[in-house]
Structure 1
Amino acid sequence: MAHPGSRTKTTDCWLLPEDEASVGQRIAELLPGAGWLCSQPGPLGLHQVHVHPSVQDALRCGGVQALLALPAGAAAPAGVQDLTGSATGPGRPSAVVQLLCSRRRQNRNGEVFDAGRLAVRWFEPEVGPEMHRLLTEQTRTVWRALRAATRPAPVETAAGHRISGMRIGRAAHAFATDTGIPLARGVSQYLRPTTTSTGNQPPGNRE
């Protein structure tokens, strides 16, 4: 259940590193000055966190996920080292967009391809109406970049129930098609591509 005043948006997606780079490039074209925070494993404060100029740099530094600070151009959070040199605003980020990497893992039946996600959340009462409007606008821009860099991923469960609203990168789609690797969402939901495409429709995000 969403908390009062919270604004969330989430899209599950399958991406390979080249797809992540493509999404990051599209975002950079639409939101110049946006920086990506690396996300290090371990407790808070154990590792130095940086703002990187690209999602690839942030993922090389952190590994599992990268965080896009919004609004674009905001100053680095306290204790975070800015490696971009492009922060222009005096304010700190009011929201972060999480890009969680897809991953290949083994289960008892073999290898599966787990979905990652693009997600954002903020609390409108905490940021105020003006910042809320800006975050809403920039969030739409980020998802527009995601749609431009990926394709719909129409899938169905083993029981034949269709699920829409997810995205898959071009390289990830080629990989899944060529290898036949099962797609997965979470630890227990296994999916297969449907035989017909839904076309280039916008994702059904949870908002």
Structure 2
Amino acid sequence: MPEKGQKTKLLYFWLSREDVAEFSDALHEALPDMRWRCSHTGADRLLIHHFDTLQAALDCEASAIVSQAFAALGRSELQFLRSYRMHMTDMKDATGHAYDPEIDVVNYGRMAIRWNTLDGDDAPLTALLNTIWKTFKQVTLPAKVHTTAGHPIPGFRIGKQMHETARSERLYLKANGPFCLLN
């Protein structure tokens, strides 16, 4: 059972590095005081670095699979998680659908925040999140995708560059479970 007053806002997406850079620049223009941090493990401790832009935080020690950055927003933190393209071989899904012998897949990313409305006035946080979400939607498109079985998957967004790449290179876009293709 969720905690009383708990509120969550999240968005799922597929973005290329260029799409992230476009969002990062637009967000920095809209909210120039917003700061980001990365965190990753070092030899013997957790390393944390601070940055002026989302792109800079994601570029710090990014792995080949996924990178993430965080922004402190009032009483909570916004998480931005981006997944990268992977090359896969001999794939079958739960329904037994066999894919080409070799495919390229991009798993979904997400932008998410959770806070409690009982902790104080959440109007400033809500206004800030509205600006962030509006900026994100201005630089992305609704993702019109379907599973390999033909079922539509709503609610995702896709960057303009990722959309072009997915279409021209027939990338599979991994949703929360199925592999998808652009319509």
**TM-score, with structure 1 as normaliser:** 0.74
Please show how residues 88-127 of structure 1 align to structure 2 within 5 Å: 94-107=75-88, 108-109=90-91, 110-126=103-119
**Which one-letter code corresponds to 1:56 in the other structure?**
Q
Cα shift at 1:185: 1.7
Between the aligned partners of 1:101 and 1:6, the Cα distance in structure 2 is 25
Between the aligned partners of 1:2 and 1:100, the Cα distance in structure 2 is 23
Q: Deviations over 1:34-64 (max 9, x none)?
A: 0011121479x81331220111211122421
Distance 1:158 1:100, change over 3 A: same
Cα shift at 1:170: 1.1
Q: Which residue of 1 aligns with 2:178?
A: 189
Contact 2:12–2:156 at 8 Å: present in 1 too?
A: yes
Between the aligned partners of 1:183 and 1:41, the Cα distance in structure 2 is 29
Between the aligned partners of 1:165 and 1:103, the Cα distance in structure 2 is 20
**Which one-letter code corresponds to 2:180 in the other structure?**
L
Q: Deviations over 1:87-136 (max 9, x none)?
A: xxxxxxx221111012222443332111111111112223x12xx11111
Computed over aligned residues only, the root mean square deviation of the Cα atoms, in angstroms, reads: 2.0
**TM-score, with structure 2 as normaliser:** 0.83
| Equivalent position to 1:67, from 43, 67, 70 | 70
Moved over 6 A (4+): none
Contact 1:41–1:62 at 8 Å: present in 2 too?
A: no
Between the aligned partners of 1:52 and 1:116, the Cα distance in structure 2 is 20
Structure 1 counterpart SS, 2:60: helix
Q: Which residue of 2 aligns with 1:52?
A: 51
Gaps of 5+ in 2: 92-102
Structure 1 counterpart SS, 2:40: coil
Between the aligned partners of 2:33 and 2:152, the Cα distance in structure 1 is 39
Structure 2 counterpart SS, 1:145: helix
Q: Which residue of 2 aligns with 1:11?
A: 11
| Equivalent position to 1:151, from 134, 141, 153 | 141
Q: Which residue of 2 aligns with 1:88?
A: none
Aligned length: 167
More strand by proportion, 1 or 2?
2
Cα shift at 1:66: 0.8
1:167 corresponds to 2:148: no
Contact 2:70–2:77 at 8 Å: present in 1 too?
A: yes
Cα shift at 1:2: 3.7
Q: Deviations over 1:3-22 (max 9, x none)?
A: 32111111110111111111
Between the aligned partners of 1:101 and 1:41, the Cα distance in structure 2 is 18
